[in-house]
Chain A
Amino acid sequence: MMAINLENVTKAYGSQRALDSLTLGLFEGQVTGILGPNGAGKSTLFKAIVGLVRPDAGRITVLDSRPSWKTNGQIAYLSDQCRWYGSHTVQHSIDYAAAVFPHFDQKRAEQLLASMGLNRDVTVGTLSKGHEARLKLIICLARDVRLMLLDEPFSGIDLVSREKIIQGLIESFAERKQTIIISTHEIREAESLFDQVVFIDQGQVVLSGEVEALRQEKGSLESIYRGLFQ
């Protein structure tokens, strides 16, 4: 079963094609890695899935419907950009998320705060990059939704925060079997998390498949990535 299907999706910014007749299917109940260099089209892909970007051509199906506010109720989206109310504490931000996001499980958020080592009384404006990334992930993982889209959850983050994030993801996935899509170029840390992987470049799929089969055939994802993009 596919959670997401794209057929010949194109999106251009001026003469630059961020998505170039992109066709791909993402499996339900699995963890899929979207791998590619900066500018490959990863963030545009995510934005198209949640309807923030309208394709020039092609067709997108998400959880059996067109991208819309209604389907977004079932999607937790960790965007590459994020704004906070600077005077909010971590606790305020959680309360705010609980008020605005559908299917937000406050109890689960509390557990995640503890397991990921965040202090609820700290002002978000003063959080380190790593702690801010943890808070973003907690807000996604606390939502009891079918689909999770995580755009670069590890980039520019210290080792300990990265490990906490990976730990949080494994815990959540073991419990709920959601569909999780993660874009990253930090392959080494993340590659053992994926069931499926899609390598994209210049808005097109260059290779995709089941990770364990690719390992058998070609070796580690890191070496495949090097081979593709070097």
Chain B
Amino acid sequence: MEEANASGLMFKLDLSKPLWEQVLHQIRGAVARNDLQPGEKIPSLRDLAQQLKINPNTVMRAYQELERDGLTETRRGQGTFITASQQKIAEARDLLAQEAVREFVSSMKALGIDRPAACTLLEEAKWS
């Protein structure tokens, strides 16, 4: 696992999995957690490639996907910015939450814990 700080964002890259998906996920995560604010500028493709020491094509693939999801907007000559749309940000958050739930469910299943028992565990879990 390689860790890198790119313009204040922490990235963890695992070379055994596709890198573009990891870049995509981690930026999505930063938006959902508000580490990247609505309207905030994100590093240029070149800077991010440089800071993460990865191929610029890899970053481009992640950036294209973010743009397609409506999570970023590129303004000609100015750079790429996180969307100001709260709805798009909420969608990204929901997507990540659903993913976390799927992981939780499969961990519980692997442990042989059924739905009611898992729900009880969740009820009892500390949120703060």
Which among B18, B49, B52, B53 is the interface contact of A212 at CB below 8 angstroms? Answer: B18
Given contacts A216-B17, A220-B16, A192 and B54 within 8 Å (CB-CB): yes
CB distance from B99 to the nearest CB of A (A): 17
Q: Is the CB of A170 within 8 A of B18?
A: no
Q: How many inter-chain contacts with C-beta < 8 Å in the A-B complex? A: 59
Residue A160 at the chain B interface, CB threshold 8 Å: no
Residue A174 at the chain B interface, CB threshold 8 Å: yes
Residue B98 at the chain A interface, CB threshold 8 Å: no
Give the contact stretch, choosing among B32-40, B55-63, B73-81, B109-117: B55-63
Interface size on A, residues (CB 8 A): 25
Interface size on B, residues (CB 8 A): 19
Given contacts A163-B53, A167-B53, A193-B55, A215 and B46 within 8 Å (CB-CB): no
Q: Which residues A175-223 have CB closer than 8 A to chain B?
A: 175, 188, 191-195, 212-213, 215-216, 219-223
Q: Is the CB of B55 within 8 A of A223?
A: no
Given contacts A170-B49, A170-B50, A195 and B16 within 8 Å (CB-CB): no
CB distance from B42 to the nearest CB of A (A): 16
Residue A171 at the chain B interface, CB threshold 8 Å: yes
Closest A residue by C-beta to B44 = A174
Q: Is the CB of A193 within 8 A of B50?
A: no
Residue B100 at the chain A interface, CB threshold 8 Å: no
Residue A127 at the chain B interface, CB threshold 8 Å: no
Residue B125 at the chain A interface, CB threshold 8 Å: no
Give the secondary structure class of A's interface: helix
Given contacts A215-B16, A216-B17, A220-B15, A174 and B58 within 8 Å (CB-CB): no
Can you list, as one digit per residue, whether each of B13-40 has a CB less than 8 Å from chain A (1) or not (0)? 1011111100000000000000000000
CA distance A173 to B54 in the complex (A): 11
CA distance A171 to B54 in the complex (A): 11
- The 8 A-B pairs with the shortest beta carbon distances in the complex, nearest first, are A220-B15, A219-B16, A174-B46, A174-B56, A220-B16, A192-B54, A212-B18, A215-B18
Residues of A in contact with B (beta carbons under 8 Å apart): 30-31, 163, 166-167, 170-171, 173-175, 188, 191-195, 212-213, 215-216, 219-223
21 example contacts (A-B, Cβ-Cβ < 8 A) are as follows: A30-B57, A31-B57, A170-B46, A170-B50, A170-B56, A174-B45, A174-B46, A174-B49, A192-B55, A192-B58, A193-B53, A193-B55, A212-B18, A212-B19, A212-B20, A215-B15, A215-B17, A216-B17, A216-B18, A219-B16, A223-B16
Contacts A31-B57, A170-B46, A192-B19 supplied; 7 other A-B pairs, CB < 8 Å: A163-B53, A170-B49, A174-B56, A175-B46, A192-B13, A192-B52, A216-B17
